[in-house]
């Protein structure tokens, strides 16, 4: 297999970063706002929606199901919904492009409606497994005909008389949990999802805000989320908070660049999404949280500071001349292909946690010379080295920004 001739990339240190960074809206909230608006009664107004191909795919999908979805000149989006169980049979296959979250959640949303729908995507999405949502959704009475390996294109026949269920997640997955809860909206009775390991709770919070009857409790089995259906949701005014993942870049850059003083407004402060913020503050990062508003949204003020050692029990270890940081367990990355792509770009075929890959990219932006990374797993320790020479970062043929060091067998 041949590779392109190495081409050096130049990176120079910049002056201080100052001002206000308008971070794009959170993708997870954007997907869910469109979907919940489509099955609500009345109009849902969405401000700050992430303008990306994945989100536009979800908007087109909700329109294909019969909801009226409009983007206005001032950037607001409105969705006039059909009520739970009101989705209409689409006339054409619904193409989600490369949006794995979008297609899995939409399949769950439509799974208990008495319709047929075909879901597909681009070449990459059609390689991803759908079995982990098909299996639990089938227990509602939904039927699926998928391509070999439980992949897209996929034909779904929604349950005509859906049955409530209790399902324990075999692997921690916010997507599977969300698909089940969205399907449960049109199921008479109580559906319960048990997650032994808690995952992101955007779906539960937004369902409650739209009027769903939810019960959440912690038991010896884990976190149990129950939804009493059928639900009657009402249209809401949704302001999408800024995405913590996108904020990682200016946040870390400001911390390590002298003379910086930046503000990141309307940041999501959901504790399931602020891991990087917590680590940076434990390392001594000067990050002020103020103007905290409802639903866990706040303004962040970030100034440069020398970062110190911080530890959190887990699987990854990042080294740099400013110290080191232990990052928590990488967890299950199967099916989370957006994060996996970021990991492959930074890690040359390694699936790194999203926080780790974002931190590496931020270090690159500051033109540091060398960054050593150690990934610890059940198979042992796998050291990697980010290669940079002075103000030159050597691209050895994408995606090879990180060379794999010799491993201990």
pLDDT in tens, 230-248: 999 999 999 999 999 999 9
Give me the helices (H) in 73-184, please: 100-110, 131-138, 174-184
**In angstroms, rounded to a whole number, what is the distance separating the alpha carbons of residues 355 and 346?**
12
Pure H helices in 225-309 = 244-255, 275-282
Determine contact, residues 210/185, Cβ cutoff 8 Å.
no
| pLDDT of res. 87 | 98
CB 207 within 8 A of CB 36: yes
To the nearest 10°, the Cα dihedral for 121, 125, 128, 132?
Answer: -50
As a 3-state breakdown, the chain gives helix, strand, coil percent values, each rounded to 5, of 25, 30, 40
DSSP 262: E
**pLDDT given at position 386:** 45
Please report, in tens digits, the pLDDT of each residue of the chain (409 residues total). 566 777 787 777 778 999 999 999 999 999 999 999 999 999 999 999 999 999 999 999 999 999 999 999 999 999 999 999 999 999 999 999 999 999 999 999 999 999 999 999 999 999 999 999 999 999 999 999 999 999 999 999 999 999 999 999 999 999 999 999 999 999 999 999 999 999 999 999 999 999 999 999 999 999 999 999 999 999 999 999 999 999 999 998 899 888 999 999 999 999 888 888 988 888 888 999 987 765 579 999 999 877 775 554 333 333 333 344 444 444 444 444 444 444 443 333 334 444 444 454 444 444 334 445 555 555 566 555 544 333 333 333 333 333 333 333 3
Give the phi and the psi of residue 30 in degrees, each rounded to 5.
Answer: -60, -45
Listed in sequence order, the residues at least 6 apart from 139 whose beta carbon sits closer than 8 Å to its beta carbon are 163, 165, 167
Contact of 69 with 77, CB cutoff 8 Å: yes
Question: How many CA atoms does the CB half-sphere of 367 hold within 13 Å?
Answer: 12
Cβ-Cβ contacts under 8 Å for 283 (sequence gap 6 or more): 307, 308, 309, 310, 323, 325
CA 289, CA 247: separation in Å to the nearest integer?
14
What are the structure tokens assigned to 194, written together? Answer: 């048990």
Q: Hunting for tokens 């009226």 — which residue is that?
A: 68
Res 370: pLDDT: 46
> Which backbone phi and psi does 340 adopt, to 5 degrees?
-65, -40
Query: With the C-alpha atoms ordered 250, 252, 256, 261, is the resulting torsion angle positive or negative?
Result: positive
Beta-carbon contacts of residue 314 (< 8 Å; ≥ 6 apart):
326, 327, 328, 329, 330
The Cα-based distances of 204 to 32, 260, 269 in angstroms read 10, 37, 16
With contact defined as beta carbons under 8 Å apart, do 325 and 249 qualify?
no
Q: What does the alpha-carbon distance between residue 170 and residue 15 come to, in Å, rounded to a whole number?
A: 49
What is the reported pLDDT for 283?
86
Cα–Cα distance between 257 and 175 in angstroms, integer?
37
Helix (H) or strand (E) holding 72: none
Name the one residue in this structure whose structure tokens are 């913020």.
277
Contact 254, 17 (CB under 8 A): yes
Is the Cβ–Cβ distance between 117 and 153 less than 8 Å? no
């Amino acid at each position: 297999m041949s590779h392109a001739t190495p081409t050096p990339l130049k990176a120079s240190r910049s002056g201080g970063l100052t001002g206000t960074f308008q971070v794009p809206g959170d993708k997870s909230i954007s997907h869910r706002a469109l979907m919940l608006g489509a099955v609500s009664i009345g109009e849902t107004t969405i401000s700050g929606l992430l303008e990306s191909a994945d989100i536009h795919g979800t908007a087109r999908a909700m329109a294909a199901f019969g909801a009226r979805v409009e983007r206005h000149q001032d950037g607001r989006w409105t969705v006039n919904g059909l009520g739970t169980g009101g989705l209409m049979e689409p006339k054409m296959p619904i193409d989600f492009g490369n949006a794995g979250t979008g297609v899995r959640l939409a399949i769950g949303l439509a799974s208990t409606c008495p319709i047929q729908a075909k879901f597909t995507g681009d070449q990459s999405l059609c390689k991803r497994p759908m079995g982990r949502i098909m299996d639990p959704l089938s227990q509602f009475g939904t039927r699926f005909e998928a391509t070999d390996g439980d992949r897209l294109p996929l034909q779904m026949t929604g349950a005509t008389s859906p049955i409530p269920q209790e399902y324990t997640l075999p692997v921690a997955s916010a997507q599977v949990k969300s698909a089940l809860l969205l399907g449960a909206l049109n199921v008479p009775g109580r559906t319960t999802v048990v997650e032994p390991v808690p995952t992101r709770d955007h779906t539960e919070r937004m369902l409650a805000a739209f009027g769903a009857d939810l019960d959440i409790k912690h038991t010896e089995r884990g976190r149990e989320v129950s939804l009493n259906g059928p639900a009657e949701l009402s249209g809401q005014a949704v302001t999408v908070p800024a995405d913590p993942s996108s904020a990682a870049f200016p946040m870390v850059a400001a911390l390590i660049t002298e003379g910086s003083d930046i503000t990141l407004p309307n940041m999501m402060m959901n504790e399931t999404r602020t891991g990087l913020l917590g680590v940076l503050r434990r390392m001594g990062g000067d990050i002020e949280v103020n103007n905290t508003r409802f639903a866990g949204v706040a303004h962040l003020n970030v100034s440069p500071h020398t970062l110190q050692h911080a530890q959190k029990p887990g699987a990854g270890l990042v080294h740099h001349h400013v110290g080191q940081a232990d990052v928590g367990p990488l967890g299950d990355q199967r099916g989370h292909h957006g994060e996996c792509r970021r990991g492959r770009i930074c890690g040359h075929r390694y699936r790194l946690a999203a926080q780790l890959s974002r931190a590496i990219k931020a270090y690159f932006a500051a033109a540091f010379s060398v960054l050593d990374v150690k990934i610890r797993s059940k198979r042992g320790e796998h050291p990697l080295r980010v290669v940079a020479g002075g103000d030159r970062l050597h691209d050895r043929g994408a995606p090879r920004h990180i060379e794999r060091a010799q491993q201990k067998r």
